[in-house]
Structure 1
Amino acid sequence: MYRRTRLAAAVLLAATLTGALAPVAAASGQRDPVQRQLDQLVERDEVPGALAYDGRQTRTAGVADLASGRPMVDAAARFRLASDTKAFTAVAVMRLVADGRIRLDDRAGRYVPQLAGRPVTLRQLLKQTSGLPEYATLVDWSSPGTSEDYLALALAQPPVFTPGTDWGYSNTNYLVLGMVIDKVSGVDFRTYVERVILRPLHLDDTYWPAPGELTLRGPHARNYGINPAHPEAGRVDVTELPGHEFGASGGLVSTPPDLNTFWNALFEGRLLPHWALRLMTRDTTDVGGRDTYPPGSRYGYGLASIPLTCGGVYWGHGGDLPGDSVAGGRATGGRGTVTVYTTTWAAEGSSLRHLQGAVDAALCAKHR
């Protein structure tokens, strides 16, 4: 999930990724700039496997399984979206807004009793300006609970700032938005997202994990990282995770073609009225230089814009878990859509530069 405040962030940031890796990388020195970034992720950053899919071409580097050495999977394989899930949740909320069932300036406490009396609005939740503390670092992931349990953990902490006065990435915002969808739609937020996004777009390879489901369905690469429940073990296989518990903040599983289809549909006006999409992308906060966002980045409603070296921006989100990182989205100016992911956490230092560099290279390819 947990992009921009990673799952058990204190553990992940403090941990040194250990273990000798011997990934099989694609031949270096290739002229293709996207492949070059993927190769650097594997050869320099010790990422086991990396993939980029732009709708026409799939590029890979490394391996899908360190034990067997099998080559990195293709674009038909599934991976955890982590916090890319937030874009789906935000679109679902905006569908309720467009249908007149909620208003952006409604207080969240109107729908979530635990927030009664707190001046937090739905707009602030979408924009990450609520000041609600992060819950993901407080959860005992070996003994998962309910959304209400997780929210209670966050609310037991003091607010990070007064609502609306600052920006601070918190998975708690989207935890609450999932609870709002539950209340207003009358069905579980997962069912509502399926009804208004997944089924209409025929995203047949995208799904919410069932309760207790730890594995990934269908073809997939193995994932490696620090298990938050057992950080003392160092870098291990973390393919099996309690994905259902990541919920509206980070629970979806998908494929690169499905994710690209979502981005294209959103920006082609197939999911929301144009006025709703304009709100999502124009009511934004400058987040450049904060967290993993490069200078010039802005955060809207479950979407972020990232500047491109060839001019313009791309809109997407991104996500990180101990076992994968995801980047990409749809560029302005008809420059296309791309999904890039790695099979380990790659949200810091050179690995982050190469991950974002692969996205930039793919979307700027027509302009080089």
Structure 2
Amino acid sequence: MHRKHLIAAVLLAATTTGALAPVAAARPSDPVQRQLDLLVERDGVPGALVHGGGRTRTAGVSDMVTGHHMIGAQGRFRLAGNTKAFTAAAVMRLVADGLMGLDDRAGTYVPQLAGRAVTVRQLLKQTSGLPEYVSLVDWSRAGTPQEYLALALGAEPAFEPGADWGYSDTNYLVLGMVIDRASGVGFRTYVERTILRPLHLDDTYWPAPGESVLRGPHARNYGVNPALPEAGVVDVTKLPGYEFGASGGLVSTPGDLNAFWNGLFGGRLLPAWALRLMTRDTTDVGGRDVYPAGSRYGYGVASVPLSCGGVYWGHGGDLPGDSVAGGRATGGRGTVTVYTTTWAGGGESLGHVQGAVDAALCAGGGRG
């Protein structure tokens, strides 16, 4: 779908879901709950959740037809852009094992990029200049990574490699193809072997080809289906998850995502020097995309300042049917995941999502 049509569809979702959402009772004494209630009452988010420190807070409903309470920490959801952190960790595992180098040309592993001066490091840092493929895809039919990359390569580069920063799912689409070649087993299998199994993330999985439903307990998701934007806001719980691939395809739970952040930043996946590169070789992205002032983007992870001092490290992800934010804070303040059942990646809703993360971590609600 053309980029401007995709943007219009997302804006439509953000402005029309308010008419459908239930009203939650305000609990002003709890700053975390207050942010969740604002998401439901003011922003029209059907359901929202904060999980950290062994505690789960919710607002709204998990199903707008039945009116059931919002699902808890056991619920599955699509990680969307948070998948990039798993992909980046897998790339750094290959680098640590000497199977590839950060300054290798991506064309060494991906023939479609032969002759282009794009490196693995630039893909990780979102500084390659490769244009976004998502807005060019016809989501009414399945495609291959090679087909999606061809769409991006047919468009004008956003900038010369290394000259600027620009968030693009194409970077991580390519990194999945790089892992395929360097590991010899495919990026999904490699992530399972090196990240999911070692951290015992038993509720996290890659959807199978053709699989559009979520396994296990989950909330319903609502938004504009990119394959049928003319239908307006609909139930988008079913989506082509397999096609989202290395840039956004994983499905997880709040507990598993928190365990991933703790495992990654706790040094259980990578040697210390590799983790330092991920978090110190960074770009100032404050005020760009969804990032507030003072944010920095590293290798598939970003730091966001906290109002109480320090930062938290994580990522974030948005689809027409959900938004996910959070990560692990410095200073021992813990780890938290925020999840909404519709797109909440802009305007006041984005502020309330980020506010929920900040309130939980600054109150110590992510510890434990």
The TM-score range, normalised by the shorter chain, is over 0.9
Q: Is the contact between residue 51 and residue 341 of structure 1 (CA under 8 Å) also seen in structure 2?
A: yes
CA gap of 1:187–1:131, structure 2 versus 1, over 3 A, is same
Question: Following superposition, which runs of at least 4 residues in structure 1 exceed 3 angstroms of deviation?
Answer: 5-11, 13-17
Q: Is the contact between residue 12 and residue 224 of structure 2 (CA under 8 Å) also seen in structure 1?
A: no
Q: What is the deviation of 1:127?
A: 0.1
Match of 2:260, SS state, is helix
Match of 1:260, SS state, is helix
Q: Which of 231, 241, 244 is the aligned partner of 2:242? A: 244
Aligned to 1:71: 69
Structure 2 residue runs of 5 or longer lacking an equivalent are none
Q: What is the deviation of 1:15?
A: 6.0
Q: What is the deviation of 1:35?
A: 0.4
Q: Is the contact between residue 12 and residue 232 of structure 2 (CA under 8 Å) also seen in structure 1?
A: no
Letter in 2 for 1:295: A
Distance 1:79 1:6 in 2: 27
Q: What is the deviation of 1:21?
A: 1.3
Q: Which of 113, 126, 137 is the aligned partner of 1:139? A: 137
Q: What is the deviation of 1:250?
A: 0.2
Aligned to 2:32: 34
Letter in 1 for 2:176: G
Give me the TM-score of the superposition, normalised by structure 2.
0.96
CA gap of 1:116–1:185, structure 2 versus 1, over 3 A, is same
Distance 2:317 2:14 in 1: 20
Aligned to 2:255: 257
Q: What is the deviation of 1:18?
A: 2.4
Root mean square deviation, CA, Å: 1.5
Aligned to 1:354: 352
Q: Is the contact between residue 307 and residue 313 of structure 1 (CA under 8 Å) also seen in structure 2?
A: yes
Q: What is the deviation of 1:158?
A: 1.4
CA gap of 1:343–1:6, structure 2 versus 1, over 3 A, is farther
Distance 1:329 1:76 in 2: 18
Distance 1:254 1:105 in 2: 31
CA gap of 1:84–1:283, structure 2 versus 1, over 3 A, is same
Give yes or no for the alignment of 1:21 onto 2:15. Answer: no
Letter in 2 for 1:130: S
Q: Is the contact between residue 8 and residue 138 of structure 1 (CA under 8 Å) also seen in structure 2?
A: no
Mean Cα deviation higher: 239-248 or 221-230: 221-230
Q: Is the contact between residue 17 and residue 235 of structure 1 (CA under 8 Å) also seen in structure 2?
A: no
Give yes or no for the alignment of 1:308 onto 2:315. Answer: no
Aligned to 2:102: 104
Letter in 2 for 1:244: Y
Q: What is the deviation of 1:87?
A: 0.1
Match of 2:134, SS state, is coil
Letter in 1 for 2:143: G
The number of aligned residues is 362
Structure 1 residue runs of 5 or longer lacking an equivalent are none
Distance 2:9 2:178 in 1: 30
**Superposition map of 1:139-178 within 5 A:** 139-178=137-176
Q: Is the contact between residue 24 and residue 69 of structure 1 (CA under 8 Å) also seen in structure 2?
A: no
